[in-house]
């Protein structure tokens, strides 16, 4: 069974109770959602990156968003920021997403989701960035409660939607990028950072350091 509508029907009795609480404006609405367990048919079992050889359970993003629509009437990403970082030759894309549910006649609720996806080299960032956004949306939705898989995998070590999570903070990684640019010994080495520096998520400060370093190399070349 993989049709989203069919999967939603599995929880119809629960949805009807949610509809009743929502109509009454009851404070028990989110309590019920938080305590509810997702039907087994909703769950995907995927290889664990945190614990190789093991698996973890999750709910697909398409289904999660369909559940949000069924309960709250709709949702949207209201803001997204991407930070590209580099550390010791490895790159990572970190997404921070503001995800708003509800609207219209219903109250709106804004959730924040964060996820980091590592890229083995700079060419993989084009794939890592949209994946980080999708994972951040999932992590935002999970906060609504147990029905969305919030408490899956809690018995053992939780499996977060983060691949090879950096061991240092994003701020430290940005500082690392600045130092890497400053320490470039040749113009060819510097140009390996061109794609990452041109990203909209990189601050003008870092871009300015890159351009200054590039001018210095070009000036040396002319003098030679």
What ranges do the domains of the chain cover? Answer: 4-167, 168-224
Q: What is the pLDDT of residues 87-96, one digit of tens each?
A: 777 888 898 9
Q: For the structural domain made of 4-167, what CATH number should be given? A: 3.30.390.80
Instruction: Please enumerate in sequence order all residues whose Cβ is within 8 A of that of 6, keeping only pairs 6 or more positions apart, or say none.
Output: none
Beta bridge partners of 95: 82, 115
The pLDDT of residue 168 is 38
The pLDDT of residue 204 is 78
Residue 224: both structure tokens together: 């030679």
Using 50, 70 and 90 to split pLDDT, how confident is the model at 64? very high
Find the mean pLDDT for residues 24-36: 93
The pLDDT of residue 180 is 72
Helices (H), the chain: 4-9, 12-24, 28-35, 61-72, 125-142, 170-182, 187-191, 194-197, 204-223
Q: What is the pLDDT of residues 3-20, one digit of tens each?
A: 999 999 999 999 999 999
Using 50, 70 and 90 to split pLDDT, how confident is the model at 68? very high
Q: Is the pTM of this model over 0.85?
A: no
The pLDDT of residue 13 is 96
Burial class (CB in 10 A: 0-12, 13-18, 19+), 190: buried
Residue 31: both structure tokens together: 């309590």
């Amino acid at each position: 069974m993989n049709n989203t509508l069919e999967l939603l029907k599995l929880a119809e009795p629960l949805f009807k109770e949610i509809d009743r609480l929502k109509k009454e404006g009851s404070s028990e609405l989110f309590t019920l959602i938080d305590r509810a367990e997702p039907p087994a048919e909703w769950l995907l079992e995927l290889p664990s990156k945190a614990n190789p050889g093991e698996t973890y359970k999750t709910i697909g993003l398409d289904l999660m968003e369909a559940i949000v629509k069924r309960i709250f009437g709709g949702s949207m990403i209201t803001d997204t920021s991407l930070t590209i970082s580099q550390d010791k030759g490895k790159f990572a894309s970190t997404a921070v997403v503001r995800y708003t549910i509800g609207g219209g006649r219903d109250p709106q609720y804004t959730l924040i989701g964060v996820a980091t996806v590592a890229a083995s080299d700079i060419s993989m960032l084009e794939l890592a960035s949209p994946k980080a956004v999708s994972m951040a949306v999932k992590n935002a939705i999970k906060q609504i409660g147990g029905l969305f898989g919030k408490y899956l995998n809690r018995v053992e070590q939780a499996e977060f939607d983060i691949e090879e999570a950096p061991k240092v903070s994003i701020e430290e990684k940005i500082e690392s990028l600045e130092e890497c640019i400053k320490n470039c010994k040749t113009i060819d080495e510097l140009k390996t950072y061109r794609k990452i520096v041109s990203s909209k998520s990189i601050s003008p400060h870092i871009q300015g350091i890159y351009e200054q370093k590039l001018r210095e190399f070009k000036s040396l070349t002319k003098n030679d």
